Structure 1
Amino acid sequence: MNDSTQLMTDNNRLIKRATIFLLLSLGLFAAWTWFAKLDSAAIASGIVIVESKRKSIEHLEGGIVAQVYVREGQKVEKGAPLIKISDITFQSRLKQTQLTWISRQIEYQRLLAERDDLARYVPSIDKVQFPHLALEIDTLIANQRSLFTSRMDMRTKELDIVDSRLKQTRNRRAFSSQMLAQRKQALEFLNDEIDMHDQLLAEGFTSRLKLLELKRSEVLLVSDIISVQAELDGQILSVSELEQQKSAIKQRNRSEVETQIAEVRNALITLEAELNLAKDVQARTVVKSPASGVVLGLKVNAAGEVVGAGESLMEIVPDNDSLIVEAIINPTDIDVVRIGQQALIRLSAFNFRTTPPVQGEVVYIDADRTNSDGEELSGFKVKVKLNSQEISNNPDLELYPGMPAEVYVLLEEKRPLDYLLEPLKVSLLRAFRES
C-alpha cells in the first residue's frame, strides 16, 4: 500500500514537473514569437556587370576592313585604334568635296573683286592645307582669273562705248551752246542797227528798202537761234540719257554680281557642312576604343572582310568602371523592394565559408517585368551597387564581369508570430470570399 502511494506520488510529481516545463516552454516560445525580431530578405539570382555595360563597337557606314589592330582578350587603352576600314571611297568623296569647295571659294573671291571694281584679282587660297590638290587649285585660279579679265574687259568696253557717245554729245552741246551765244549777240547788234535805220529813215537819210532788208535778216537770225536752241536742248537730253544708261549698266552689273555672290555664299554654306561630314566620315575609318578595357567578342579577324553599316564588330569591357550586380526579383517581392534598400551579395564563385557576403545598395528597379534570356516573363530587373570599401579591403575578392551572385535585399524585420499568423490570415481572407 505504501509502495502504491509512493508510486502515485512520484507520478504526480513527474506530471507536475512536466506540466511546469511544458508551460514554461510554451511561455518562452510565445515570448520569443512576440518579442524576437527576424531578418527577412527578397532573394534573387544575378550576375556581376560593368555599371555602364559593355561598349559595343560599330561602324556607322560599314565597308571593307583594311586592317585589324587587336585580338580577342587584348587589353586596350582609351583612344587606341581597333580596326581600320578601307578609306578609298571616303577619300575620293572627301577630295571631290574639297575640290568643289575650293572652286566655289575661288569663284566667290573673283565675284568680290568684280563687285568692288578691283583692277586685279588676287585669290587667297592656302595651298599648304591642300597639298594633294595643288595642280587642280592652280587650274581653278587660272580659269577664274581669265574669266575675271574677260568680264572686266567686256564691262569696260560696254562703258567705253557709252562714254564715247557721251563725249561726242557733250562736245556737240558745247558747240551748240557757243553758236547760240554768238547768234544772240549778233541779234543784239542787228536790233541796234535796225533802231538806227528807223531813226535815219524818219530824218530822210536812208531808204526804206535798206530797213526792210535788215528786218528780214532779223527774222532769219531769230529762226536760226530757235533752231540752235532746239538742237542744244536735244543734246542736253541726250547727255542725261547717256549718263543714266551708264549708271544703269553699272547697276545691272553690280546686281548680277550680288546675285551670284549670294548664290555662291549659300553653296559654300552647304559645301562646308558636306566637307565637315566627309572629314568626319574619313576620320571614322579608324575605329578607336571608347574606353580602356578588354576586347571581347571580336567578330572581324582579317583584312578584306566586309562589315555592314552599324554592325557590331566587337565589345570593350571597361576596366576602370564600377561593377554592380544585376538580378531578377520575383514579381511577388517587387512590392517590398525599394531603391536605397540595403542588400547582401554572396558571390557564387568564392567559398561561402571563407568569403563573407558583400554589402550593397539597390540603385535601380525596372518599371516593368522583363524577359530573362528571351524566355517568358520572369521578374523585375534590379541593380545593386557593391560597397567599394569592402571590396578594396579584401584583396582576394577580385571581381570580373559575368560572375554569378545571389542577392539578398534586406526587408523589414518581422516577429516569428507574424510568420505563424500569415497563413492563417490568408486562409481567413479567402474563406470569407464568395465562390
Structure 2
Amino acid sequence: MKQTISQDTARDIPQEQLDYIRIYDRAAREQHYASSRIIVLSLVLILILLVVWAKYATIDEVTRGMGVVIPSGKIQTVQNLEGGIVEELLVRDGDQVVKGQALIKIKNQQFESIFKESKSAMNGLALEIARLRAELDHTSLVIDPELKALVPAIARIQSQLYESNTRFLLNQQRILEEKIRQKQAQIDKYRLQIKHLAKKARLLKQQIDITQPLVERKIESKTDFLELQRKQADIIEQKELASSSIPELKSQIAEMQKKKEELAITFRTRAQKELGEALTRRASLVEKQATFKDQVSRTLVTAPSAGIVKQIHVNTLGQVVKPGMDLVEIVPLEDNLLVEARIRPSDIAFLHPGQKATVKVTAYDFSIYGGLPGRVERISADTLKDERDQTYFLVEIVTPKTNLGTKEKPLEIIPGMTVSVDIITGKKTILSYILKPLLKAKQNALTER
C-alpha cells in the first residue's frame, strides 16, 4: 500500500527516518511492478501456447444425418418346388434363423416312396455286382453285412444264384473231366494192347520163319502154316486198329478240354455281360437317386440365409402346399449391417464413398453402449424428396458389426431401427474453427452498397 508524506510531516521527521521511508516506499513499488510483469508475461506466454496449440491441434469435421437400418439383401421368399402337405411348422413370425435352419416340414409320400424304392434297388444292384464280380474272378462271394441287414431277401437270392451258377459250371466241368479220364483210360488200354499184340506178332513171326522151311520140305502141314499166317494177319490188323484208335481218342480228349475251357469262357462272358448291364443300371439309378434325394430333401424347407422370419404364408398342419407356392419370407441378416441415411444437399459436397462414419442406434444409449464404426458405401446420384417435400441425398453406410454390446450379451440391431450417422469428412485446426467467423465477416465487411 502506497503512503504519501506531506512536506509539513517531512519536516517533523528526522532525516534518517525519512530516508528509510523513501527507500522502503521505492522497494515496495519496484516489487509491485515486478509481480505485475510476471503476471503479464505469464498471460502472454499462455496465450501464445494456446494459439500454437490451436494452430496444430485438429478436430474431425463431421456431417450428420438421420437414417434407418435396412436389410443388406432383398427380402427372400422361400418356396417348395414339388409341394405336399404341411407336417410341422418349426418357426414363427419374428424368429431369428440361421442359414440352413429348418422352417417347415412338408410330407410328400410319393417322393419318399420312390426314394426308398431307389435305395432298395441300389442295394440290390450292389449285391448283384458283388456276385457277378465273384463269378468273374472265380473268388468266394463276400456280402457286406450292412447290405445283408438292409435287404436280407435279395442277399439270400444272390447267394443262391452264386452257388447255383458256380455249381452248374463245376458239374459240367466234372462231367467233361470224367469223360476225359475215360478216354485216357481207353488210350492206355490200347497202348497196352498194342504192346501185347506186338509181342505176340514177334513170336508168331519167329514161329512162321521156323515153320516155313519145314513146310517147303513137307515136314510140316501146309494147312498149319496157313493158319499161322492167318493168325499173324489178325494180330497185325488188331494192332493197326488199336493204333488208329489212339489219335481219335486224343482228338476227343482235346475236344473235351476245349469244351471245358469254353464252359469257363462262356461262364465268364455271361458274368461280364451281366456285370456291364448291372453297372449301367446302377449309373442310371445313381443319377435318378440324386434327383429323388433332392426331391425328398426339399420336403424339409430350410432358410437360404441367416435372417428374421417376416411372414409365414402357411399356418395350419395338414394344409396342402401347391408346387412353387410362397411359404416363408425372410429378412436377411448378413455379416454387414446396411444403413440408409438422409443428408442435406448443403452438406453433401465433401462426401464420397469410403469415408469413415459412426452409426448411433437411437434405441440404445450412445453414452452407455457406444456406436458402430462404418464406411460410406454409396451416395445417390441425385436428390430425393420426402413426404414433407424436403430434398435430401440418400447415403448408404455399411458396418462390419451387426450388434452392440458384448460377445456374451449382444444387443441385436434389426431392420427398421432408426439411427443417427456421423460421417467424418475431414479434419481442421481449432484455430481455423475459431477464426472462421472472423474470416467470414472480413469477406462480407464493407461490401454493402
- CA deviation after TM superposition for structure 1 residue 248, in Å: 0.9
**1:369, 1:381 within 8 Å by CA — same for their partners in 2?**
no
Range with bigger deviation, 186-195 or 284-293: 284-293
User: Which of 80, 92, 117 is matched with 1:71 structurally?
Assistant: 92
Could you tell me which residue of structure 1 aligns to residue 260 of structure 2? 246
**2:307, 2:332 within 8 Å by CA — same for their partners in 1?**
yes
Could you tell me which residue of structure 1 aligns to residue 208 of structure 2? 194
Could you tell me which residue of structure 2 aligns to residue 306 of structure 1? 321
1:362 aligned to 2:383? no
Could you tell me which residue of structure 1 aligns to residue 127 of structure 2? 106
Could you tell me which residue of structure 2 aligns to residue 426 of structure 1? none
- CA deviation after TM superposition for structure 1 residue 105, in Å: 3.0
1:93 aligned to 2:108? no
- Counterpart of 1:239, as a letter, is I
**1:48, 1:404 within 8 Å by CA — same for their partners in 2?**
yes
Partner SS state of residue 287, structure 1: strand
Could you tell me which residue of structure 1 aligns to residue 447 of structure 2? none
- Counterpart of 2:258, as a letter, is Q
CA distance in 1, matches of 2:149, 2:376: 52
CA distance in 1, matches of 2:368, 2:105: 45
Identical columns (%): 22
| Aligned CA distance change for structure 1 residues 265 and 379 (closer, same or farther; 3 Å) | farther
- CA deviation after TM superposition for structure 1 residue 69, in Å: 3.0
**2:335, 2:402 within 8 Å by CA — same for their partners in 1?**
no
Deviations 1:10-35 (A, max 9, x none): xxxxxxxxxxxxxxxxxxxxxxxxx9
| Aligned CA distance change for structure 1 residues 203 and 45 (closer, same or farther; 3 Å) | farther
CA distance in 2, matches of 1:41, 1:147: 86
Alignment of 1:150-229 (within 5 A): 150-152=164-166, 154-156=168-170, 158-159=172-173, 161-197=175-211, 214-215=228-229, 217-229=231-243
**2:75, 2:331 within 8 Å by CA — same for their partners in 1?**
yes
1:315 aligned to 2:336? no
| Aligned CA distance change for structure 1 residues 247 and 359 (closer, same or farther; 3 Å) | closer
| Aligned CA distance change for structure 1 residues 97 and 195 (closer, same or farther; 3 Å) | same
CA distance in 1, matches of 2:277, 2:363: 69
Q: Give 5+ residue unaligned stretches, structure 2.
A: 1-55, 385-391, 441-449
The count of residues paired between Structure 1 and Structure 2 equals 367
1:337 aligned to 2:352? yes
| Aligned CA distance change for structure 1 residues 68 and 156 (closer, same or farther; 3 Å) | same
Could you tell me which residue of structure 2 aligns to residue 295 of structure 1? 309
Could you tell me which residue of structure 2 aligns to residue 285 of structure 1? 299
- CA deviation after TM superposition for structure 1 residue 232, in Å: 1.0
Name the TM-score, length of structure 1 as normaliser: 0.62
| Structure number with bigger Rg | 2
CA distance in 2, matches of 1:369, 1:264: 65
CA distance in 1, matches of 2:278, 2:245: 49
- CA deviation after TM superposition for structure 1 residue 144, in Å: 4.0
Q: Give 5+ residue unaligned stretches, structure 1.
A: 1-34, 131-136, 373-377, 421-435
- Counterpart of 1:102, as a letter, is N
1:255 aligned to 2:276? no
**2:204, 2:228 within 8 Å by CA — same for their partners in 1?**
yes
- CA deviation after TM superposition for structure 1 residue 233, in Å: 0.8
- Counterpart of 1:243, as a letter, is Q
Deviations 1:104-158 (A, max 9, x none): 2333344345446679x7855547964xxxxxx4543454455455545544554
- CA deviation after TM superposition for structure 1 residue 38, in Å: 11
| Aligned CA distance change for structure 1 residues 176 and 150 (closer, same or farther; 3 Å) | same
**2:338, 2:396 within 8 Å by CA — same for their partners in 1?**
no
RMSD: 5.3
- CA deviation after TM superposition for structure 1 residue 349, in Å: 7.6
Could you tell me which residue of structure 2 aligns to residue 25 of structure 1? none
CA distance in 1, matches of 2:421, 2:228: 138
Could you tell me which residue of structure 2 aligns to residue 267 of structure 1? 281
Name the TM-score, length of structure 2 as normaliser: 0.60
- CA deviation after TM superposition for structure 1 residue 235, in Å: 0.5
Could you tell me which residue of structure 2 aligns to residue 236 of structure 1? 250
Deviations 1:368-398 (A, max 9, x none): 989x9xxxxx999854226789x549x9x97
Could you tell me which residue of structure 2 aligns to residue 11 of structure 1? none
- CA deviation after TM superposition for structure 1 residue 323, in Å: 2.8
Partner SS state of residue 71, structure 1: coil
Deviations 1:70-101 (A, max 9, x none): 32224557776421101312321222112212
**2:335, 2:400 within 8 Å by CA — same for their partners in 1?**
no
**1:58, 1:314 within 8 Å by CA — same for their partners in 2?**
no
